Amino acid sequence: MREELITSGRMNLNIDPVLHIWHWQIPVYLFLGGLAAGLLFFAAYYTIIGKEKKFTTAVKFAPVLAPVAIILGLIALLLDLKHPAYFWQLYTTVHLESPMSWGAWVLMFIMPISMLWVASYFKEIFPKFDINQNIVGKMLKKVIVKNDNKEGANWDWKFEIIRKFEINFIKNRKPVAWVMLILAVILGVYTGILLSAFNARPLWNSSILGPLFLTSGLSTAAATIMWMSDNHEEKRTFSKIDLMLIVIELFLITHLFMGFLAGSEAKVQAAQYFLGGEFTVTFWINVVIIGLIVPAILETLELLKFKLPVMVPAAMILWGGMIFRFIMVEAGQVTRFLY
């Protein structure tokens, strides 16, 4: 008979704390939240500095995607909740030390502001809105105007209270832009702090995640605006902005891993998942190479007057931003402190 002395049960699967409760819904929520934050940040910033007429895509058209992204992100979040019918309980109290409380309240404020921002530009975005073919059009009235001998359709709100509210909102766009800019920054940082608040997960337990997720969200927003714009100067401006953001993002990623490798054994092991471990190929190819380095090279060539389709680097940045969040959420649940 063979005798064996068992001194530890650590080799058993999941004997150490392992988290597998967050699936695809959370990274989708984080990606869309970061994208919305970036879009609203640029819209607010260029309004504050008085360049809304120069960067019309950033200020008027791209923000249309922001409330859509927030709604889709919240739907993904609701799908992840164990008891979605009780989500409203987040709004019965305020916990300043809780990132989830911050996120819930910021989303509650930024959502209506983003919708009102888009609505204030609705007449400029849709100058020939056809009320006869739209349900929303039942609340509108049609006014035919002539300008420079060119006939076009224009419209106004049917109810006087809506008209007055729109006029007041437009008059106070700059103060609203300041509020929106602050909320956008908080939302962008929150998408990273939501993870870093989990002290029991070495990969997430880093103060760099907040700035890193904010930078990534701004980069995906800049890429989206660059893709949507048909103004050459606006495209070049956001290409320069995105190039700067990519450099910052690479800097933060480098220091993230430097901090891990200089930390405790648990943090070193967390870094090893990306430095030869199971997430190495996925992270470095999809996030760093496809999502950052190659777009940076293509944008540099574009700035040097080489003709390249702008959709290529923009799509690569969006892809890299999405995969980055999937990897961080998945890998963070695998890492743990050893006791």
In a domain, 187, yes or no: yes
Q: Please give the average per-residue pLDDT across 312-326, as a whole number.
A: 94
Could you read off the pLDDT of 83-110 as tens digits, one per residue?
777 777 777 777 777 777 777 888 889 9
Quick one: pLDDT at residue 8?
57
With b for 16 or more beta-carbon neighbours within 10 A and e for fewer, the 173-192 pattern comes to beebbeebbebbbbbbbbbb
- CB atoms under 10 Å from CB of 309, counted, come to 11
Could you read off the pLDDT of 242-259 as tens digits, one per residue?
999 999 999 999 999 998
In a domain, 108, yes or no: yes
- Residue 92 structure tokens: 């019965």
Q: 240 burial class (0-12, 13-18, 19+ CB within 10 angstroms)?
A: middle
- Residue 207 structure tokens: 């103060």
Beta bridge partners of 155: 142
Contact 76, 150 (CB under 8 A): no
- The residue with greater pLDDT, 126 or 19, is 126
In a domain, 123, yes or no: no
Q: Please give the average per-residue pLDDT across 148-166, as a whole number.
A: 62
The DSSP output letter for 136 is: G
Token pair 């997960």: residue: 201
Closest to 310 in 3D by CA, of 318, 322, 300, 302: 302
Quick one: pLDDT at residue 10?
56
Quick one: pLDDT at residue 276?
85
pLDDT score of 6 more than 80: no
Whether the pTM exceeds 0.85: the reply is no
Q: What's the N-to-C CA distance of the chain in angstroms?
A: 34
- Residue 93 structure tokens: 């109290």
In a domain, 159, yes or no: no
Question: Which backbone phi and psi does 155 adopt, to 5 degrees?
Answer: -150, 165
In a domain, 225, yes or no: yes
CATH of the domain at 55: 1.20.1630.10
Alpha carbon 154 to chain centroid, angstroms: 34
In a domain, 215, yes or no: yes
The DSSP output letter for 263 is: S
Per DSSP, the residues of 8-72 read: --TTSTT-S-------THHHHHHHHHHHHHHHHHHHHHHHHTT-TTT-HIIIIIGGGHHHHHHHH
Closest to 29 in 3D by CA, of 224, 212, 190: 190
pLDDT score of 112 more than 60: yes
Beta bridge partners of 150: 147
In a domain, 9, yes or no: no
Taking the C-alpha atoms of residue 194 and residue 210, their distance in angstroms, rounded to an integer, is 8
pLDDT score of 5 more than 50: yes
Quick one: CA torsion of 102, 218, 260, 250, rounded to 10 degrees? -170
In terms of residue numbers, what domain contains 330? 25-118+167-334
Q: How many domains does the chain contain in total?
A: 1
In a domain, 7, yes or no: no
